[in-house]
């Protein structure tokens, strides 16, 4: 997938609005989609024989943090003895398992690379009939794009004996073996779900875990995640890169901040109006780039008050937090 190609006017005219939306969404998220190959006896959807004749599996994933964190399905990796992650640029890297949450069929991996392309996470109420695009590696065919609509929300299916997946997104975007763990994105290329299952022998029925559940899992498993108990801020987060255009437009002092993956509603930050996916960039005028920076800045605040500067949808906002 070439996300940098520019279209000449005649080619652009051949695209109707639907095609432009699908193509644009795929180009935005495509560089962050990865292929995951496993060796061992993991129960991935696509079975094949790996090196030495040992059984292996294949699935998909998506990079959500530029320091190498990848979101995928638990069933793709949870029983793997070895995990390889193939990036969109062709690099093959060993994957380390940060953790799994089988009840959500989600897992977080880490690869040893930085400054990777990332996909934007979006948690909002989807509408039935809304355009969605799935990207993954069905049957081993890399970086395949399928499109459809949200067929229903709040679905429940039995993924295995004794294991039910709930509150799923149902879509008619084609999801096949190997798609598991790949992103389901909206027309703006934002991840709204992680594709998780298909119904055997059915046509036009696929499912995805919603981003609301994925954010909970990331917050639990992310190895940079911290609840900052000493500061009692009531948040959990991780370092994230900020779009250079936003850095320039908002005159920020640093190109990284703390992405909030957990905000307790009754905590100081929640009461001050901060929300999931806000990016804290400064406390009392001093830039923060990591959860530890944030912890220390809050601890230095005077009179139990801290002025928080944060980004929301690319706009710089401020709030006073009582800690």
pLDDT value, residue 201: 60
Are residue 238 and residue 318 in the same domain, yes or no?
Answer: yes
235 vs 191: which has the higher pLDDT: 191
> Is 312 part of a structural domain of the chain?
yes
Say which range, 9-18, 40-49, 64-73, has the weakest mean pLDDT. 40-49
Residue where one domain finishes, among candidates 210, 235, 270: 210
- CA dist 258 and 245 (Å) reads 18
> Is 123 part of a structural domain of the chain?
no
Are residue 103 and residue 68 in the same domain, yes or no?
Answer: yes
Mean pLDDT confidence for 182-206:
85
Report whether 39 contacts 51 (CB < 8 A).
yes
**pLDDT tens digit string along 223-235?**
444 444 434 688 8
Residue where one domain finishes, among candidates 53, 77, 111: 111
Assign residue 255 the CATH number of its domain. Answer: 2.30.42.10
Are residue 233 and residue 299 in the same domain, yes or no?
Answer: yes
Q: Which residues contact 24 (CB under 8 A, 6 or more apart)?
A: 187, 189
> Is 299 part of a structural domain of the chain?
yes
Are residue 228 and residue 298 in the same domain, yes or no?
Answer: yes
**Phi and psi torsions of 139, nearest 5°:** 55, 25
Tell me which residue range forms the domain holding 138: 131-210
Assign residue 58 the CATH number of its domain. Answer: 2.40.10.10
Q: Counting beta carbons within 10 angstroms of the beta carbon of residue 316, is it exposed (0 to 12), middle (13 to 18) or buried (19 or more)?
A: middle
153 vs 227: which has the higher pLDDT: 153
Report whether 112 contacts 58 (CB < 8 A).
no
Above pLDDT 70, what percent of the chain? 85
Say which range, 32-36, 104-108, 219-223, 298-302, has the weakest mean pLDDT. 219-223
Reply yes or no on whether 19 is catalytic.
no
- CA dist 197 and 63 (Å) reads 20
Reply yes or no on whether 180 is catalytic.
yes
Q: Which residues contact 61 (CB under 8 A, 6 or more apart)?
A: 33, 34, 35, 36, 70, 71, 72, 76, 85, 109, 181, 182
pLDDT band at 262; cut points 50, 70, 90: confident
Report whether 104 contacts 73 (CB < 8 A).
no
Choosing from 69, 84, 105, 241, which is the catalytic residue? 105
Above pLDDT 90, what percent of the chain? 44
Query: Does position 287 have pLDDT exceeding 60, yes or no?
Result: yes
Query: Does position 54 have pLDDT exceeding 50, yes or no?
Result: no
pLDDT value, residue 13: 58
CA dihedral 288, 292, 294, 295 (to 10 degrees): -160
Residue where one domain finishes, among candidates 63, 78, 111: 111
Reply yes or no on whether 75 is catalytic.
yes
Q: Which residues contact 27 (CB under 8 A, 6 or more apart)?
A: 1, 3, 189
Could you tell me which residues are beta bridge partners of residue 208? 169, 195
Choose among 124, 136, 118: nearest CA to 29.
Answer: 118
- CA dist 61 and 183 (Å) reads 7
Choosing from 60, 69, 75, 241, which is the catalytic residue? 75
How many folded domains does the chain comprise?
Answer: 3
pTM over 0.75: no
Are residue 242 and residue 279 in the same domain, yes or no?
Answer: yes
Are residue 190 and residue 252 in the same domain, yes or no?
Answer: no
Choosing from 151, 180, 241, 309, which is the catalytic residue? 180
């Amino acid at each position: 997938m070439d996300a940098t190609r520019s279209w000449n006017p005649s080619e652009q005219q051949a695209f109707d609005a639907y095609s432009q939306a699908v193509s644009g969404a795929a180009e935005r998220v495509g560089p962050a989609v990865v292929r995951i190959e496993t060796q061992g006896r993991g129960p991935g959807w696509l079975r094949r024989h790996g090196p030495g004749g040992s059984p292996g599996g294949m699935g998909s994933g998506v990079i959500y943090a530029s320091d190498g964190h990848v979101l995928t399905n638990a069933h793709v990796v949870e029983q793997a003895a070895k995990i390889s992650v193939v990036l969109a640029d062709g690099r093959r890297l060993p994957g380390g398992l940060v953790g799994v949450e089988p009840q959500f069929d989600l897992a977080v991996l880490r690869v040893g690379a930085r400054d990777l392309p990332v996909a934007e996470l979006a948690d909002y109420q989807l509408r039935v009939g809304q355009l969605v695009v799935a990207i993954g590696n069905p049957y081993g065919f890399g970086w395949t794009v399928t499109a459809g609509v949200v067929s229903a929300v709040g679905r429940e299916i039995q993924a295995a004996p004794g294991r039910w997946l709930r509150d799923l997104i149902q879509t008619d975007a084609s999801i096949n073996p190997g798609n598991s763990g790949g992103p389901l994105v909206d027309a703006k290329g934002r991840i709204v779900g992680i594709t998780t299952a298909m119904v055997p022998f059915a046509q036009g029925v696929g499912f995805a875990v919603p981003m609301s559940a994925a954010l909970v899992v990331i917050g639990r498993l992310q190895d940079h995640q911290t609840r900052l108990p000493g500061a009692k801020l009531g948040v959990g987060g991780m370092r994230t890169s900020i779009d250079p255009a936003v850095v320039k437009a908002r005159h920020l002092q640093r190109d990284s901040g703390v992405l909030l993956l957990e905000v307790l509603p009754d905590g100081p930050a929640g009461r001050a109006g901060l929300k999931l996916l806000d990016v804290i960039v400064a406390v009392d005028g001093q830039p923060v780039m990591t959860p530890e920076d944030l912890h220390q800045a809050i601890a230095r605040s005077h009179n139990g008050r801290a002025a928080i500067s944060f980004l929301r949808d690319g706009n710089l906002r401020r709030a006073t937090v009582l800690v």
